[in-house]
Structure 1
Amino acid sequence: MIDFSQLDRVIHEKGRLAIMTVLAARSPRAFQDLKSELGMSDGNLISHLRTLTKEGYVRELKTTAADSSRPCTSYEISGAGKSAFNAYLKVLEAIVKQSRPS
């Protein structure tokens, strides 16, 4: 029997799962790129990113755009975030494996 309490509640929320999936595939990503790719509003995206940052799964990077002096904010998955995401995927894989008929 799968212990569903093993699912990381921080990652399990749909918006945060989407962010973690994108950042796990390619990191860092600019805020505007994440917003465009995920189809989230500014407020929704920043709220989820704050939760992930507070948990230590994501890091915020502040830079200045090369072609101008305007600030650019990017996000990358942290080592703890990679570990948590991989553990989350293992639980999902166990759920799928158990639910398939033998």
Structure 2
Amino acid sequence: MTTDNTLPELDPVIHAQARLRVVAALNVLGDGDEMAFNALRKLLGMTAGNLSVHLTKLEDADYVRINKTHRGRTPVTFVALTTRGRLAFEDYTKAIRTLLDNAGGAT
């Protein structure tokens, strides 16, 4: 076990498995693109309530943007990754790579 303090901290908002899956799924969309809540729910195999709870945490951190609108008379909720969310995910993936690169320890 190393006491090296240079290893990065992992963002606790993204690190939860469900939120990591949400951010990873949204990250593949282009800047400004969004995904319908139901499509994201089906893609991730999550219940609406579970996804909603995790989206709230991500929204509170300004990592996702929620846009509630209507298609005709039907309410539709869209979800998009914010610029801050993209940067946080990029930092998170760099931190994971750093941790994995150092997992073998010093020889």
User: TM-score scaled by structure 2?
Assistant: 0.84
Q: Structure 1 stretches (4+) deviating beyond 2 angstroms?
A: 1-4, 99-102
Partner of 1:15: 18
Structure 2 letter corresponding to 1:16: R
Partner of 1:93: 97
Post-superposition CA distance 1:44-100 (Å, at most 9, x none): 0000000000110000012222xx321110100001101111000000011122225
Partner of 1:52: 58
- Identity across matched positions, percent: 32
Structure 1 letter corresponding to 2:96: L
Which of the pair is proportionally richer in helix? 1
Count of residues in Structure 1 that have an aligned counterpart in Structure 2: 99
What do you get for the CA RMSD once the two structures are aligned? 1.7
Structure 2: 5+ residue stretches without partners = none
User: TM-score scaled by structure 1?
Assistant: 0.88
Does 1:25 pair with 2:28?
A: yes
Post-superposition CA distance 1:15-72 (Å, at most 9, x none): 000000000012411100011010101110000000000110000012222xx32111
Structure 1: 5+ residue stretches without partners = none
